[in-house]
Amino acid sequence: MANADPARPVPAASSGGSELTLRILSGLVLAPLAVGVAYLGGWIFVAFWAIAALTVLWEWCTLVAGGERRTVLLTASAAVLLAVLLAGAAAPTPDGSHSARLVAGGTLLVMGVLATAALAPSGRRVWTAAGIPYAGLLGMAPVVLRNAPLLRDGTPMPTRYWLVGEPERTWVSRLESAGGVDRAEAEVDPEAVVAAHARYAAERDAAVPGDHVGHRPTGGVGGTRVGLKCLHAHYAWHLAGGDDPVGRWVEAHLPEVT
């Protein structure tokens, strides 16, 4: 029998099982961490998602670019990190729109794609560059979280949308501190507010399982029964696509506190 070639690496035993175990354990640790960070919000939230995006990017480049990933990873990481920070720190435009900073962040990602493609190994340029939007959008996207109407134990949750992203959450807090709730209640048509509460409740209640027989969530936006309570809840629903006149009022007045 011929001797084994000492220059040829011996195939390692499959590590699929151990890698799956590691991923499960990581998920068990990161899931409650993500919930806690979402609760805290602020720049802790921004930093968490920036780290998550860079971790995803590192794994992507390791799988696709292999041993030639160093330069590619540095370039791609710079583009992703700057885009995430820009999305978390830029001020809104005078009309309250956030499109300017999102466009700027998207432009940085496009520039990162082009630079990464140029530096990536030949034959793997497209796949390597694809990691930029994959990781970048992960870091830029989380601003609003949609909540299930019921917890796992059946506890009703009246708030459907939570504003967790920064700097949006801080801006709305400033607006509330400056008397925003009373101002919005005085300036927004009360009938339009009542109608918004009804739409919010209908959307939330439609997500309750049909076979649920326990307590159900009540109230309108953020569980409010009458008038206004939380501008964060209204603005979160507005950002998620809800038809909320209070959310539009908040967006129009954010430049006052930024």
Q: Are residues 122 and 171 in the same domain?
A: no
Kindly report, residue by residue over 178-209, the tens digit of the pLDDT: 999 999 999 999 999 999 999 999 999 999 99
| Final residue before a domain boundary, out of 74, 108, 141 | 141
DSSP string, 39-102: HH-HHHHHHHHHHHHHHHHHHHHHHHTGGGHHHHHHHHHHHHHHHHHHHHHPPPPTTS--HHHH
Q: Are residues 249 and 203 in the same domain?
A: yes
Rounded Cα gap, residues 192 and 170, in angstroms = 26
C-alpha distances in angstroms, 146 versus 25, 131, 160?
A: 25, 26, 6
Q: What mean pLDDT is reported for the chain?
A: 81
Alpha-carbon torsion angle 159, 165, 171, 175, nearest 10 = 0
* Residue 182 domain boundaries: 145-257
Rounded Cα gap, residues 47 and 37, in angstroms = 9
User: Is 191 inside any structural domain?
Assistant: yes
| Final residue before a domain boundary, out of 141, 175, 207 | 141
Q: Which of 93, 77, 74 is CA-nearest to residue 85?
A: 77
User: Is 31 inside any structural domain?
Assistant: no
User: Is 2 inside any structural domain?
Assistant: no
Q: Are residues 149 and 253 in the same domain?
A: yes
Q: Are residues 168 and 223 in the same domain?
A: yes
pTM of the full structure: 0.58
User: Is 78 inside any structural domain?
Assistant: yes
pLDDT of residue 109: 86
pLDDT of 7 over the 80 cut: no
C-alpha distances in angstroms, 210 versus 189, 207, 216, 221?
A: 34, 9, 11, 22
User: Is 12 inside any structural domain?
Assistant: no
| Final residue before a domain boundary, out of 141, 166, 189 | 141
pLDDT of 126 over the 60 cut: yes
User: Is 165 inside any structural domain?
Assistant: yes
Q: Are residues 128 and 159 in the same domain?
A: no
Q: Are residues 162 and 117 in the same domain?
A: no
How many other CB atoms are found less than 10 A from the CB of residue 59?
Answer: 12
Rounded Cα gap, residues 236 and 74, in angstroms = 34
What's the structural domain count of the chain? Answer: 2
Q: Are residues 95 and 177 in the same domain?
A: no
Q: Which residues contact 75 (CB under 8 A, 6 or more apart)?
A: 112, 115, 116, 119
